Chains A and B, each alone.
Chain A
Amino acid sequence: MIAALVGLGFGVMLVRRRSLATLLVSVQALVLGVGALTLAGEGSGLAVAGVILLVRALALPAILAISTRRTREPALVAPPRSALVRLLVATFVGLVAALAVPSLGLADRAAESGALALLCLGIAIVAMRRPAILQVLGIIVAENGVYLLAVSVPGGIPAVVELGVVFDLVLVVTVAAAFSEKIHEALGSGDTDLLRGLRD
């Protein structure tokens, strides 16, 4: 499962279409959510995992899909680096993160490595992609890494913390989507590199 999650993260780094990248992140959240459901046991834990699955795999991608539809680009924004360079950067970042991660106290060492790799991969996506929507997807990939860490904690973490985090994420994505639309409205493109001109 961890390999699948990281592989989907690589996909977000490589694909050019925002809609396809959103679909990949949605699938990543679905895989992660199903894993969390299997670990959640019964009762309130299961309900919380279910809510989080719905929000991460459906609500957030839906917000981004709506935003993507409302900000149609005349042409795809050219990536700053070629696909090969992006693949190399993603591989380097993922490997360094996975190998350098210290013991975080979890029983599952693979989960620790995978979580850190996803976290760093997500930030690398923000650094390597220009469209605002893809940068938001990078943040969600990074956040999925943190969630992987949370579901791997023996006994889980308090439901209130999990719900609080997912609420924050919804807030961040909503605000980011709104900003993306504003950027598109003002500049005719969701390319965040155009914002450099605002620097005084």
Chain B
Amino acid sequence: MSAVDLLAAAGGALLLAGTILPLLRLPAPPALALQAVGAGLLGAVGALVLFGAAPVGAGFRDGLHPALGIDGLSGFFLAAIALVALPSLLYARDYLAGAAHERELAALGGLFIVSLCGVVAARDPSLFLAFWELMTLAPAAAILLRRHDAAVRHAVFVYLAVTHLGGAGVWICVLALAHYGALSDPGALAAQGSGAQALVLVAALIGFGTKAGLAPLHSWLPRAHPVAPSHVSALMSGVMVKVALYGLIRVLFEWAAPAPLWVGLVVLAVGLLSALGGVLYALLQHDLKRLLAFSSIENVGIAALGLGASILFASEGEATWAAVAFAAALLHTLNHAVFKALLFLAAGSFERAVGSLDLDRLGGLLRRMPWTGAAFALGAMAIAGLPPLNGFASEWLTLQALVHLAFGPALGLGLAGALAAAGLAATAALALFCFVKAVGLVLLGEPRRPEVAAAVEPPAAMRAAPVLLGGCCVALGLVPGLIVPALMELAPGGGRIATEPALVVPGTGSLPSLWLGVGIVGLTALLWRLRGGRRAAPVPAWACGQRIEPALRWSSDAFSKPLRLVLEGVLRPRREVEVVRAGGLVRSVRYRGEIPHLFDTALYGPARRRALAGARVARRIQSGSVRGYAAYLLALLLAVLVAVRVGVIG
């Protein structure tokens, strides 16, 4: 057994111990520490395997014999899980202190991390599916343990219902792959013909796509992520949706490879829909955590754009660019895990400090919570794709791949690439708009409530976690080129670029990220120095002669109003104006506005109504009589026997 094997075994054992011991009355802090050390060791093993160490454990097998192992792709995702889990567990130490069900929540958090690591390390269908289900159930239990009012119960119900309906796709896909022997021998599925391959691919797109939050299967995500405890939200948005992408990548690029052209186009289209739809609805949210949840849909969409482009490049025989697009998707997956975890943890601190995350009732938190506020601002800049932070690097690489696709020789693919590139550019612009709004309403200006004015920094661990993740945003933004070559090697066709801090892409130039960072820091220092001792003088704002009142401040709705007006035909906002008159005079005017979620009203609403109508019809055969049910069974059995006899079946 090698040293890496021992490290992996020790990491797994410690993580399990940290999960089980709280249930045996061990206090939460040491249990969280054990979980952190375990997750850290597993992440380190993952990074070692990613960067060239020999794979650990077993290879994939088709039978139901439980096995675990770590190869390069699993290693990358284990490292990403650890990168989010470590600060989240550190945060949880103070976040859970004194909370109701502290030990149980610590255990469930550990179980969630075990399930995440388990999915990426599973090497047989039984363990994969078991950990997959556990990954769904553990956060649901944590949410319900923390809060169980009607709204939260409904959110958890929708989460479990949608992910389990979608999850059927995962079961079909994995069991079909095992049946065809394609888990251990990726060529086996292609030998079964295009019908079997299409079945597996469609099931994978539905199953993994639902859990990843890809539109239009994302309905559960903006409901479930905001109601979870903050360290669980960070893990859900930061890594759970990425683990779903891991499953999708395994199927599209390994078990069912080579994926046909139509799959690439579908993934590209779904990615574009998710990216644009996600950011658009993020912009329209009033609640910070819901905004962040919609933004997760956007970022998963960006990663899907990279994956779709990679399949299209591979179908055209452009192996190097297929690898570049693949690496862009993985890099964005990692980057989003880091900054989204940061933003959720910081949002949790804001909520703890002021009791609400209503964007119109915050303000001025940067001055009152400088560490958390600065980390939040850094995360917002990263997610908005500002250089030299990590979000910029991965979006730049994805854009390069899409632009290269747009200029390819095939007209159809060129058109798809051009549309996707334009969509990504629009997404980036809208994301910047969205996070200017979030930062402006949360961190800047004057406090809008007394509780906000009295806000103070959380305890040290809750401050340190977002700051650590902020450091990762900077580091990954400055030296992305140190990771990208290793990610390119994970692509099926291989491909390699030079390992250096900057991103060097064949043919289309490079992104000197480190020098860009140095330049921005130097320019900032120069401006700071030139400013000298001068300070901006505060003067009253001109408000057409009116008194400056809180109602005149920028609100969340006011910020996104121009966009709402432009997109009114798509968003279809509902407005209600109620005028109360008495004695011929207008006494009061009440206004209520709402922007319905289009996917809910146009897709899920009709589907739900039809399902309920079908259930009402089906209920007629539910007689409530044991004898009646036995008669159904007998009729079915005899019908099957007769059908077999006359050759209709078999």
By a beta-carbon cutoff of 8 Å, the part of chain A in contact with chain B is 80, 93, 96-97, 99-102, 116, 119-120, 123-124, 126-130, 135, 138, 192-193, 195-196, 198-199
Which 5 residue pairs across A and B have the least CB separation, nearest first?
A199-B624, A126-B630, A127-B630, A100-B641, A127-B631
Identify the closest chain A residue to B626 (Cβ). Answer: A192
Contact with A along B625-650 (1 / 0, CB 8 A): 11110110110011001101100001
Q: Which residues of B contact A100 (CB under 8 A)?
A: 638, 641-642, 644-645
Once bound together, how far apart are the Cα atoms of A101 and B625, in whole Å? Answer: 28
Q: Are A96 and B641 in contact (CB under 8 A)?
A: yes
Instruction: A93 to B641: give the CA distance in the assembly, Å.
Output: 11
Interface of A is mostly: helix
Chain B residues with Cβ below 8 Å from A130 are 627
Are the CB atoms of B650 and A198 closer together than 8 Å? no
Starting from the known contacts A123-B633, A193-B627, 7 additional A-B residue pairs (CB-CB under 8 Å) come to A96-B642, A97-B638, A100-B641, A102-B650, A192-B627, A195-B625, A198-B624
Residues of A within 8 A of B601 (CB): none
Task: Determine the chain B residues whose CB is within 8 A of the CB of A192 once the complex forms.
Answer: 625-627
Task: Choose from A96, A102, A123, A126 the contact partner of B644 (Cβ within 8 Å).
Answer: A102
Q: Which residues of A contact B627 (CB under 8 A)?
A: 80, 126-130, 135, 192-193
11 CB contacts below 8 A, A to B, read A93-B634, A96-B638, A97-B638, A100-B641, A116-B641, A124-B630, A127-B634, A192-B626, A195-B624, A199-B623, A199-B624
Q: Is the CB of B638 within 8 A of A93?
A: yes
In the complex, how many residues of chain B place their beta carbon closer than 8 angstroms to a beta carbon of chain A? 18
Which of chain B's residues has its CB closest to A119's CB?
Answer: B637
Other-chain residue from B624, B633, B634, B641 in contact with A196 (beta carbon distance below 8 A):
B624
In the assembled complex, how far is the CB of residue B238 from the closest CB belonging to chain A, in whole angstroms?
42
- In the bound complex, residues from chain B placing their C-beta under 8 Å from that of A193 are 625, 627
Residues of B within 8 A of A119 (CB): 637
B622 within 8 A of A: yes
Q: Cβ of B644: which chain A residues have Cβ within 8 Å of it?
A: 100, 102
Most buried by A among B622, B634, B645: B634
In whole angstroms, how far apart are the Cα atoms of A123 and B623 in the complex? 17
Q: Which residues of B contact A196 (CB under 8 A)?
A: 623-625
Complex Cα spacing A93 to B631, Å: 11
User: Using Cβ atoms and an 8 Å threshold, which residues of chain B touch A126?
Assistant: 626-627, 630
Q: Find the A residue at minimum CB distance from B649.
A: A102
- In the assembled complex, the Cα of A100 lies from the Cα of B633 at a distance in Å of 16
Minimum Cβ distance to chain B for residue A185 (Å): 18
Of B623, B625, B626, B641, the contact of A97 (CB 8 Å cutoff): B641
Known contacts A93-B634, A123-B633; A102/B626 CB under 8 A: no
From B622, B626, B637, B638, contact of A195 by CB (8 A): B626
In the complex, A150 Cα to B283 Cα: how many Å?
65
B628: A residues at CB distance < 8 A: 127
| Whole-angstrom CA separation of A96 from B359 in the bound complex | 71
Q: Min CB distance, A178 to chain B, in Å?
A: 16
Residues B641 and A101 in contact, CB atoms below 8 Å apart: yes
Assuming the contacts A100-B641, A102-B641, asked whether A124 and B634 have C-beta atoms less than 8 A apart, the reply is yes
Q: Which residues of A contact B637 (CB under 8 A)?
A: 97, 119-120, 123
Chain A residues, Cβ within 8 Å of B645 = 99-102
Task: Give A138 to B626 CA distance when docked, in angstroms.
Answer: 12
